[in-house]
Chain A
Amino acid sequence: QQQVKQSPQSLIVQKGGISIINCAYENTAFDYFPWYQQFPGKGPALLIAIRPDVSEKKEGRFTISFNKSAKQFSLHIMDSQPGDSATYFCAASNGRDDKIIFGKGTRLHILP
């Protein structure tokens, strides 16, 4: 119930293509869904986040799509660039709990 399942584990995309990472959850009490980006040897940093009152949130080339009925959400990176090569983590939390449950991560590599 507390898990967040993330796929794929790794992803290779051509420069200019669309990168798509998917996540699924079981706990319907989750009400905050962030995505974190992590470069090698660094701590993760918040990339974009969504709450379940909207189905999509866009910030620049990054978009979260949220499907509440299916309990799924995904990250789309448009016009992927080599600088986007990093590990991406989806996550979920119940605001009352303050703990964040992380997916296992997706290693994204953008080919130049």
Chain B
Amino acid sequence: DGGITQSPKYLFRKEGQNVTLSCEQNLNHDAMYWYRQDPGQGLRLIYYSQIVNDFQKGDIAEGYSVSREKKESFPLTVTSAQKNPTAFYLCASSSFSGPSYNEQFFGPGTRLTVL
């Protein structure tokens, strides 16, 4: 089955700890994205990557870091510098060509809670 997987589904973090959220896709998509979702806030873009070894900041990149060493993988690290990290995190991917051009496919999300 083609799709996007995110792990873990639930993640608990103590204050001051860094945590890494996993995102993998087997859709052969070029671009990958990380969003943060808070109640009533919609989807806010954290980082995105259009090609391997390159990525750009989104609207709320402070306190987050990413890497894109492989086309299929785009992990997100929530650092201790992120002041309010409790949220639902969504990964997405899209293709630059074909009938699904521009369509973003989303993973099932990771709910991060800071204790």
Contacts and interface: CB of A to CB of B under 8 A. Distances in A.
A98 B108 contact: no
A27 interface: no
B109 interface: yes
A98 B103 contact: no
Interface in A49-100: 49, 89, 93, 95, 98-100
A42 B108 contact: yes
Given A44-B90, A98-B31, A98-B94, A105 B42 contact: yes
A42 B6 CA distance: 11
Interface residues of A, number: 22
Main SS of chain B's interface residues? strand
Interface of B: 4, 31, 33, 40-43, 45, 48, 50, 58, 90, 92, 94, 96, 101-109, 111
Given A45-B106, A95-B102, A104-B41, 14 more contacts: A6-B42, A9-B40, A32-B102, A41-B109, A43-B109, A44-B90, A46-B105, A49-B102, A49-B103, A98-B50, A98-B94, A98-B102, A99-B33, A102-B43
